Amino acid sequence: MKLHWSPRSPFVRKVMIAAHELGVAEKLTTTRTLVGMELINDGLLPENPLNKIPTLVLDDGRVIYDSLTICEFLNDMAGGGIFGTGAARWEVLTRHSMANSFLDALILFRHERARPAMQQAPGVLTAFTTKTTSMLNHVQAPPPGRADIGDITLAVALAYLDFRFADLGWREGRGALAEWHAAFSTRPSMIATTAVDG
Ligand SMILES: N[C@@H](CCC(=O)N[C@@H](CS)C(=O)NCC(=O)O)C(=O)O
């Protein structure tokens, strides 16, 4: 299976962490695929018309996206483990949605911050700053040792804050969350997928 991949995409990292946690990472062949909000990759478009990574191409040519759908596919392939079952599944998926929407907001926030100062919209920057703070104040540190898709996505979002928003100092006043993230970051799946620029 071929995974359109980048070492700095948090959504790709989510998929790779899930693959490691499920023990199926070695089944993925990663291919470096350069994309950006203003960077169209013509090689990717036939497989994903919206130019997004991660995109998974199965050996029989079928294509699976986006990151949640790929994680579900890997979870099924591995016989389950990171989504929960029955009623618990909705709780896991809801925590995933919260952390994933946070990531969506952070990507847009970063894009706005990267514009030349004259072109930045102050209202947009203020709104994203407020959302980031309110999300961080709202989220609870998960129980130690657990690694479902909600926990994985939260860990990726917090690591993305370290990667792109180190100036925000998200740990300040959030000791329990910081402690949880430090412990989660020692998991082999996290160590194997550290984000790098390049
Ligand atoms: N909802 C998608 C989001 C994926 C996404 O936004 N990926 C970014 C890289 S981090 C991307 O492909 N951007 C290229 C573009 O927006 O054209 C998912 O969960 O997979």
7-42: per-residue pLDDT in tens? 999 999 999 999 999 999 999 999 999 999 999 999
DSSP label at residue 64: E
Burial bucket for residue 38 (CB in 10 Å: 0-12, 13-18, 19+): exposed
Token pair 């359109």: residue: 4
Q: Is the pLDDT of residue 196 over 90?
A: no
Task: Please state, rounded to an integer, the average pLDDT across all residues of the chain.
Answer: 97
What's the average model confidence in pLDDT over 111-130?
95
Phi, psi of 116 (to 5 degrees): -55, 145
**In which band, very low, low, confident or very high, does the pLDDT at 197 lie, cut at 50, 70 and 90?**
confident
DSSP label at residue 66: S
Q: Is the pLDDT of residue 195 over 90?
A: no
Q: Is the pLDDT of residue 198 over 80?
A: no
Q: How far apart are CA 193 and CA 28, in angstroms?
A: 13
pLDDT in tens, 45-63: 999 999 999 999 999 999 9
| Pocket flag, ligand 1, residue 111 (CB < 6 Å) | no
Q: Which two tokens stand for residue 74?
A: 């890997």
Cα(175) to ligand 1 centroid in Å equals: 30
Residue % of the chain over a pLDDT of 90 = 97
Nearest residue to 181 via CA among 167, 196, 163 = 163
- pLDDT the model gives residue 120: 95
Q: Is the pLDDT of residue 107 over 80?
A: yes
Task: Record the pTM.
Answer: 0.97
pLDDT in tens, 147-177: 999 999 999 999 999 999 999 999 999 999 9
Nearest CA to ligand 1 atom 2: 66
Cα(108) to ligand 1 centroid in Å equals: 11
Kindly list the structural domains of the chain, giving each domain's residue range(s) and its CATH number in brackets, ordered by start.
2-77 (3.40.30.10), 86-187 (1.20.1050.10)
Contact in structure between 21 and 147 (CB atoms under 8 Å): yes
What's the average model confidence in pLDDT over 107-117?
95
Nearest residue to 66 via CA among 31, 41, 97, 105 = 97
Q: Which atom of ligand 1 is nearest to the CA of 52?
A: 12
Nearest CA to ligand 1 atom 14: 36
| Pocket flag, ligand 1, residue 37 (CB < 6 Å) | yes
Q: Which atom of ligand 1 is nearest to the CA of 107?
A: 10
Q: How far apart are CA 26 and CA 76, in angstroms?
A: 16
